[in-house]
């Protein structure tokens, strides 16, 4: 008889984009961070309240005290760790890596793990590829594991059943995914990691066997109701409750 592992973790996804990087300066203009999007937010309807950071604190995630403060607040509300989105495009090409690396190189009280956002970056408005996600062979996988090892071995890194948690955003986009994931596990074991706990994001339960995963999570289930959401949106636009220009 098989038994299911009971997992008691409340992990919040963490977007490490709230700081400047040269690539975003080049693609979107000097000083671009997600705060630019927040500041330019428009109302969807007349009574819509646009939220802003407390005390207009448009923080910079290169200040580690900001992350520590956020984690302290999160713990007070039953969050047990942060899942940092991890951008590895192949051959050591990373983006937005600095906040997690700062934690690793400090004594900050922050439990964390990685969610590999394995997708290309696009300027969707102009249909321009900004950064391509690539999947190499075994040497590329070794390079990736070697980068991750110091994090996996850190006592603050979240582990389930003693295994470092590694979430993959789109496992189905990895060529020959099950073989790739099994090889990734093998390389990690060869580097001294007993085993990994690999979770597939945006996945279904039967993907566990299909891709060689340990678990799945679907935080985007609402997208399955996209047609219904669009119908509601269109009705609100017709009634002049929503501004159609916001969706153009």
Name every residue whose Cβ is closer than 8 Å to that of residue 104 and which is 6 or more positions away in sequence. 150, 151, 154
- Entry pTM: 0.85
pLDDT given for residue 44 in this prediction: 76
pLDDT given for residue 106 in this prediction: 98
pLDDT given for residue 225 in this prediction: 57
In a domain, 183, yes or no: yes
Count of beta carbons in the 10 Å neighbourhood of residue 238: 10
What mean pLDDT comes out for the span 109-136?
A: 95
In a domain, 55, yes or no: no
Q: How many domains does the chain have?
A: 1
In a domain, 50, yes or no: no
pLDDT in tens, 172-183: 999 999 999 999
129's tokens: 């590829």
DSSP string for residues in 96-114? S-HHHHHHHTS-----EEE
Kindly calculate the radius of gyration of the chain based on its CA atoms and give it in whole angstroms.
Answer: 20
In a domain, 45, yes or no: no
pLDDT in tens, 15-25: 999 999 999 99
pLDDT given for residue 8 in this prediction: 81
Phi, psi of 17 (to 5 degrees): -95, 0
- Would you place residue 1 in the very low, low, confident or very high pLDDT band (cuts 50, 70, 90)? very low
Q: Residue 182 maps to which CATH number? A: 3.20.20.80
In a domain, 246, yes or no: no
- Is the model's pLDDT at 122 over the cut of 90? yes
| Contact present, 9 and 158 (Cβ < 8 Å) | yes
81's tokens: 């760790």
Residue 191's domain comprises: 11-19+60-217
In a domain, 222, yes or no: no
């Amino acid at each position: 008889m098989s038994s299911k592992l009971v997992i008691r973790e409340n992990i919040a996804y963490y977007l490490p984009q709230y700081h400047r990087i040269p690539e975003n300066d080049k693609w979107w203009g000097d000083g671009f961070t997600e705060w630019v999007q927040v500041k330019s937010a428009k109302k969807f309807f007349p009574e819509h309240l646009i939220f802003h950071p407390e005390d207009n604190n448009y923080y910079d995630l290169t200040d580690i005290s900001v992350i520590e403060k956020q984690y302290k607040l999160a713990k007070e509300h039953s969050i047990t760790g942060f899942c940092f989105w991890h951008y590895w495009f192949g051959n050591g090409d990373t983006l937005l890596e600095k906040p997690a690396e700062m934690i690793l190189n400090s004594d900050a009280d922050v439990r964390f793990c990685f969610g590999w956002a394995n997708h290309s970056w696009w300027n969707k408005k102009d249909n321009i590829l900004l950064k391509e996600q690539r999947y190499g062979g075994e040497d590329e996988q070794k390079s990736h594991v070697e980068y991750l090892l110091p994090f996996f071995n850190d006592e603050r890194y979240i582990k389930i059943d003693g295994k470092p948690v590694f979430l993959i955003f789109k496992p189905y986009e990895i060529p020959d995914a099950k073989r790739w994931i099994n090889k990734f596990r093998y390389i990690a074991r060869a580097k001294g990691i007993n085993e990994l706990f690999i979770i597939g994001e945006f996945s279904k339960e039967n993907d566990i066997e299909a891709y060689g995963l340990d678990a799945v999570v679907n935080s985007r289930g609402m997208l399955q109701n996209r047609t219904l959401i669009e119908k509601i949106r269109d009705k609100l636009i017709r009634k002049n409750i929503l501004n159609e220009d916001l969706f153009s």
